[in-house]
A and B are shown apart, each in its own frame.
Chain A
Amino acid sequence: MRLQAALFVAACVSPAAAIYTDEVNHIDFHHALLGAPSPDSTFFLRPSTSSNASLLYTISEKSILGAVNPRDGSLVWRQDLSRSASELTGGAGILRGLDGNNAVVGAAGDYISSWSAQDGKLVWENKLADESIADLELLELEDASATSSVRDTLALVSNGGAGVVRRLDGDSGKTKWEYKDDSGDTPFQVSSSSTNVFYISLQSSILKGYKIKVTSLDSLTGRQTSHHTLSSDADVTGPESVLFVGANSASPLIVWTDKSLKSLKVNVIGSKQVNTVAIDNVSGQEIEQITVHAAHKLNALPHFLVLYRTSSGSWAEVYHVDLKAAKVSKAYQLPFVSGPSVVATSSIDANVYFTRITDSETVVVSSASHGVLGRWDLELKSSERASNAAAEVVAKGSAVAVRAAILRDSGDWQLIRNGQIEWNRPEALIDAVAAAWVDNDVQEDLVHELEVEGHETLHGAYIHRVKRHVRDLEHLPAWLTELPSRILGSILGDEVTNLDSFGVAKSVIVATQKGRVYALDTGKHGAVTWSIQAVETSSWDVKAIVIESGEATIYPSDGSSITLDVSTGAITSRSSPKDVKFQSIATIENKVLGIQEDGTPASSFDESTGYLVTTSADGRVLGWANSDNKIPVWEFVPPAGQTVLQATARPAHDPVASIGKVLGDRSVLYKYLNPNLVLVSAVDTKGHTAGFYLLDAVSGKVLHEAIQVGVDANQPISSTISENWFAYSFYGDATDESSAKGYQLVISELYESDIPNDRGPLDAAGNYSSIHGDSLPLPHVVSQSFVIPEPISHMAVTQTRQGITTQQLLCTLPFSNSIVGIPRPVLDPRRPVGRDATSSEAEEGLFRYAPFLDFDGKWYLTHARDVAGIKTVLSQPTLLESTSLIFAFGGDIFGTRATPSQAFDILGKSFSKLQLLLTVVALAVGVSFLAPMVRKKQVNMLWKA
C-alpha cells in the first residue's frame, strides 16, 4: 500500500520523460558484451531436445557465461559467474554442454553451476570450499538408475594440489561419489567412456618431466578399477605440453609431441599403447603451434585433425583412430596455406566435418575423405588474425552450409555464414577503462572566417564576405541534388527532424585495458567507426583522454602519451613512458598534469591560473597553488580511522541558469554558487561511519560536514556534486531497532541564507575571496535523506547546454543492471515533512516527503535492457537545450539521449509531416471543389430572388 502510494506520488510529480517504445533502438543503443570467448568452451548447441535451431554458448575470459543467437548475434541470456566465484584462478572458466541435455554446466574458480540452456535459469550450484576446479565433463551415458534426461557432471577439483574427482547429480548438483587421489600427482583432466571414468594426472618422474597417469574409475561407484602410467617423461614438461585430452568416447585420446616436434604421440585412453606418428613437415619451417580438433558428440566417428602453425602459414593432418586396436593412422592432409587459419569441428550424426577458415576463404571437408564439400570466398577480408573458431555444418543433400563464429585477435567475435559476415560483436569493449566525447568542430572554419572579418576594415570585410559567399556557391549544385532526397527522407524517415546537426550524433573515443582504442558513433547506434591496437599490453591503465582540435591524446599512468586522429584513428605521435606512476591526470586550461601516487603534481603549473586538489595514497586531500608543486597550500585530513574514498568537484560544464530559486510567494532563495566546491567522502571501515565533507578548494576550509553511522564500507558509496547541490549514497545498517536498514540516498542543497530575499553576509558585495579576510560565508545547507531499494555504484548528473532543463541524477544500479535518472524535483530537500504541501509550496513543485523513494519505471534510462557492469556514466550537452547525451561504459556499452524536461524543442515522433501535408492537400482539394459550388449558389440565389 505504502509502495503504491509512493509510486503514485512519484508518478504525479515526475516530469514524464520516459522513453517511448518506438524510440527504443532509435535514440538508444546497447552492446551487451560477454568478453572474449574462451576457445575450448565455445560451441553450438541445441538448447533443448525439442528445438531445431541451435544457440552459440560460451564462457568468456571474464567468466561470463552466455548464449548468443547465431542468427543476429543478440544475447539470449548471460550469467556472470565471477559474482559468485570468490577466487578466480587466472584462467578462463570452463563450459560444457551436450546435445540432448537441457542444461549447460559452467565453472570458474571455486564455483560450479548448471544453467538451463534455454533461458539461463539456475539448475544447481556448488561452491567449493578451499578448492578450485581443474576440469569438467558431462558424463556420457546415463546409467540404468537415471531417469531424467539431465546428464551428470564429472568435476575434477584441485584441493590444495590433490585431485578429487566427483560425480555430481545432474538435477541437484549433489555429490554421488567422489574419488580422492592422495598420491600428490598434479590433477589434469577427466574423460569418460560408457562404463568408466578416467582420471588423468601428471606424475612427476624422478629425473625431470612428467609421466601421464591414467586412473580408471567405475562410473557408477567411483571405485578405482585400474591405473597405468604412460612413459611420457621425456616429452612432457608440464600441463601445457599435453596438447589434447578427449572428453568422451568420440575422441578418447591423449595427444602430445616429442620435444623436437618431429613426431606426434597419441594414446587411446584405456590402452597402454602409445602410437607415434611422424609429423610430415612439408613447409620446412619451424612449427610454432599445434592444436588438436576432435568431435565432442558421443556417436561421432573417432577422427581428429591436427593443425600445425608456422610463422607464415599452416597445414593440417587428419587422423583416424581404430578404437579396438587402439591404433592411429593418418587419413589425409589439408595443404599448406600461407597466412593464418583456424579449424573448427562439427558433426552431423556420426559424420565429422572440419571447417578451415583462412583470411580469404572458408573450406569444409569431411573427416572421412579429403574432398572439399564446400568452399566460399570471404567477401570482406579482415586484417585481424583469427585465433579460434566454432562451427556448425548443415548438410543439404550433397551440399553443405556452414556458419562459424570466429574470435579475432582484435577481440571481435564474428559469425561467418558461407563466406559472408553475418554479425560482429566487439567483445573487447568490455574492458573499456576510459572514454571521452569528441566535439564535432565543423563550424570552426566559419568561426575563423568571421574573426578575420571582424578585424578587417569595413571595406575589406565586405569584400571578404562577398568572396566567402561566392565560394560557398560551389556547394550549391551538391546541395540542390541532395535536396529531393532530404525532403523525402524527412517526410518518410524515422525521425521527424534529422538532429545530427544539433550535436546528438557525437563520437566517443574509448580506450580498453588491452591497449585498444575505439571510436563509437552515437548517431549510428554505437557502431565502431574505427578501432586500432594502440599499445601491446594487457593492463593499459588509461587515466585520461583529452580531445583537442581533431586529435585525441591518451594518457596512461606510466607518463607516456599517444595522440590519434579522431576521424581515422591514425597515430600521429607517441611519447615514451617516464619513470613515474600517476594516480590521475588533471587538465588545467588544456594543459595536462600528472598527479603522482602521493598526491603531488608532477610539475608546477605556473602558466595556468588554476589551483588543484588531489588525494594522496595515505588518505589525505591536498590543495595546490600554481607556483609550487612541492608543498601543498592546504591539507585536509579526515578524522582518525577514516580514509578518503573520493573527492568530487563540480563538472567542468556546469552552467547555472538562475542564481536563485523563486518560492511560491515570489520571494527568492539565493543559491550558494561557489565554483570551487569539493565534496570529499571518507569512510571508517571498522567504526562503520562515513563522513562527507564539503570543502572550499582554494582555502581548504570545511564548509559543511555530515557523518553517517552504520555505514557498510564494503558496499558501494557514491557521490556527486553539481550547481548548488550534492548527493551521496551508501548502505546504512540499522544501528538500533528503531532505525531503518537499507540503502540511503542523501541530497543536500546549498543556499546563501535561510531567509528568502537575503544574500547573507556577502549581500551586495561584488567580489569575495576565499583566502583574504574572514569573509567566506558558510552555506545554509538543507538536506533530506531517502531509503532506496538498491545500491548505487556510480553517480553523474545530466548536462545541458544552458542548464535551464531540469537536471537528472544519473545512478548506476549494479544489482538490477540498469541506469536510472532521478528527476531533481523529486530529490528536493525542501519537501515538507509530516504534512501536505501548502498551496504556495505546491506551486514550487514541492510535495509531501516520504522516507522511501522507489525508482519509478519511467526513470529507467535503460528501460527493459540489462546493462551490466557499468563503471562510469558520461553526460554531454547537445545544441538542443532539452537533450543530454548519455554514454555508459565499463562492462556493457550503453548510450542514449536523456530529455529530463521532455523534448520540448524537438518535434516528436508523434508529429507526422506526411499527415500535415495530407491535411493541407485535403483542404486545398476541398476548397477548390467547394468554391465553384458556392459561387454557383450565390449566382443562382441572385437570379431566383
Chain B
Amino acid sequence: MRFFLAAWLCHLAAASLTITISPSSLLPHPHSLPATTHATLTTSDRVLTASLTRSSTLVFSDIPSSGPNSYLLDIRSGEWVFAPYRVDVAADGTVLGIWETFRGNPWDNRGAEKYVVDIAGKAQGDIVIEAKVVGRRGFYEERAKFSPMSLVKNPMILLAIVALGFTLGMPKLMENSAFPQLPFPTMAVDPEMRAEFEQHSRSSPITGATSNAMAGGGFDLAGWMAGTSSGPTADADAARGEATGRDTGAARRRG
C-alpha cells in the first residue's frame, strides 16, 4: 500500500501544465465560457484533452513521458477563438518551452515565448501560462431592422419632403409677404403696393405660364395646328405685351 501511495504521489508530482483564462477586453467574463470549453495537446499518435475548470483554467496533469514531443496546444470554446501554442516536452514528460505558433506556417516559426525551462535545472513546479483570446466568431446574420428614422434618411423621401414643403409652403409665404426676398416677410406692407406687386407678378411670363398649365392644358395643340390659335411663343409674346400695356384679363381667359 505504501508503495502504491508513493507511486500515486509520484504520478501527481509530474509537472502539470495549467492554462489560465483571465479577463481581457475581448472576454471580460471568462466564467461565461461554456462547459464544453476544452484544450487539446496534439502530436502524432496522441491527443490529450483537458476540460475547463470552475476557476477558468485548463489543467493537463499528466503529460506522458514517452520520448520528446512537440505538441500543438489548441483551446476550443464555442464562439471564442484562442491563439494556438507550441509546447515542447522532454522525454521524461517535463515541459521544455511554450511559444505562440502560427497555423499554416513552418513549425519552427515561433512567436512570443510563454515559458522556457530553467537551464539551472531546478525542480519543475506547476507551469502556468495564460491563454490568449484573439477573437469572437459571429454566428448570426444581422437582419436590417425597420425604423422610421431609416425611412426619413432615405434620399428619395428627403427629396419628396422638400418638394412637398415647397409646394405647400410657398403659396402661404407668398400670400403673407409682398416681397419674399425681404428678410422680414411679416412687416407691415402698404396694401396699395401689395396690390401692385400682385398684379405685376400675375402677369409675369413665368407665373403666367404656370397658371396656364394649372388652368388645364396650357397650349392648345389642335387649335394651333388648325391655325386658329397662336403658338406658345406667341402666347408668351402676347403676355409680354400685356405686361407692358398693363392690360390683364382677356389674354388670360383665352388659355
Contact = CB atoms under 8 A, between A and B. Distances in A.
A28 to B, nearest CB: 12
Interface string B94-125: 00000000111111100000000000000000
Contacts of A816: 36, 76, 78
Interface string B55-77: 00000011000000010101010
Contact of B70 (A24, A734, A938): A734
B240 interface: no
A20 B44 contact: no
Interface string B20-61: 000000000000001110101011110101011110000001
Given A119-B35, A180-B4, A860-B137, A84 B49 contact: yes
Interface of A: 2-4, 7, 16, 18-22, 24, 77-79, 83-84, 115-116, 119-123, 125, 127, 129, 174-175, 178, 180, 688, 710, 712, 714-715, 731, 733-734, 737-742, 786-787, 789-790, 815-817, 850-852, 854-858, 860, 863-864, 866, 909-910, 912, 915, 938, 941-942, 945
Nearest to A868: B36
A122 B53 contact: yes
A21 B142 CA distance: 8
A125 B51 CA distance: 9
Given A79-B35, A742-B72, A863-B139, A857 B79 contact: yes
B106 A740 contact: yes
Given A19-B140, A734-B70, A742-B104, 19 more contacts: A24-B140, A78-B35, A119-B35, A120-B35, A123-B54, A125-B61, A178-B1, A715-B42, A715-B47, A737-B106, A741-B107, A787-B103, A789-B74, A789-B103, A790-B74, A815-B74, A852-B105, A855-B137, A857-B138
7 contacts: A127-B62, A715-B47, A731-B42, A734-B70, A734-B107, A855-B137, A945-B253
A915 B76 contact: no
Contacts of A912: 146
B144 A910 contact: yes
Contacts of B12: 174
Given A733-B43, A938-B216, A941-B214, A856 B107 contact: no
Interface in B163-218: 211, 214-216
B125 to A, nearest CB: 16
A507 B119 CA distance: 65
Contacts of B141: 16, 18-20, 858
A938 B45 CA distance: 90
B72 A864 contact: no
Contact of B79 (A77, A817, A864, A941): A864
Contacts of A737: 106-108
B222 interface: no
A863 to B, nearest CB: 4
Given A84-B49, A119-B35, A122-B52, A18 B76 contact: no
Given A737-B106, A739-B106, A790 B139 contact: no
Interface string B74-98: 1010110101100000000000000
B146 A915 contact: yes
A19 B107 CA distance: 36
Interface of B: 1, 4-5, 8, 11-12, 34-36, 38, 40, 42-45, 47, 49, 51-54, 61-62, 70, 72, 74, 76, 78-79, 81, 83-84, 102-108, 134-144, 146, 211, 214-216, 252-253
Nearest to A740: B104
Contacts of A2: 102
Contacts of B40: 815
A78 B215 CA distance: 81
A8 to B, nearest CB: 11
A857 B79 CA distance: 7
A712 B44 CA distance: 6
A19 B14 CA distance: 47
A482 to B, nearest CB: 30
A714 B44 CA distance: 9
Contacts of B134: 3-4
Given A938-B214, A945-B211, A854 B105 contact: no
B107 A20 contact: no
A123 B51 CA distance: 10
A511 B84 CA distance: 40
Contact of B143 (A121, A738, A909): A909
Nearest to A910: B143
Contacts of A79: 35, 51
A742 B140 contact: no
Contacts of B214: 938, 941
A858 B138 CA distance: 6
Contacts of A712: 44-45
Given A851-B105, A945-B252, A123 B53 contact: yes
A812 to B, nearest CB: 14
A232 B243 CA distance: 132
Contact of B139 (A18, A122, A127, A786): A18
A733 B107 CA distance: 10
B54 A858 contact: no
A674 to B, nearest CB: 32
B64 to A, nearest CB: 11
Contact of B44 (A121, A122, A174, A688): A688
Contact of B51 (A7, A21, A122, A710): A122
Nearest to B139: A863
A7 B138 CA distance: 11
B139 A857 contact: yes
B140 A175 contact: no
Contact of B137 (A857, A866, A915): A857
A683 to B, nearest CB: 13
Contacts of A856: 137
Contact of A738 (B11, B78, B108, B138): B108
Nearest to B249: A945
A153 B73 CA distance: 32
Contacts of A125: 51, 61
A116 B34 contact: no
Please give me the 3 A-B residue pairs with the lowest Cβ-Cβ distance, nearest first. A857-B137, A851-B104, A852-B104
B61, B107, B214 — most chain A CB neighbours (10 Å): B107
Nearest to A121: B54
B187 to A, nearest CB: 27
A866 B52 CA distance: 16
Contacts of B106: 737-740
A7 B134 CA distance: 11
B5 to A, nearest CB: 7
A912 B146 CA distance: 10
A740 B103 contact: yes
Contacts of A122: 51-54
A127 B51 CA distance: 13
B102 A864 contact: no
A714 B143 contact: no
Nearest to B108: A737
A19 B36 contact: no
Nearest to A166: B8
Nearest to A67: B35
Nearest to A18: B141
Contacts of A915: 146
Contacts of B51: 79, 84, 121-122, 125
A739 B101 CA distance: 13
A737 B70 CA distance: 10
Nearest to B9: A175
A175 B143 contact: no
A80 to B, nearest CB: 9
B216 A942 contact: yes
Contacts of B72: 741-742
A122 B33 CA distance: 12
A822 to B, nearest CB: 14
Contacts of B138: 857-858
Nearest to A685: B45
A122 B60 CA distance: 13
Contacts of B253: 945
B155 to A, nearest CB: 19
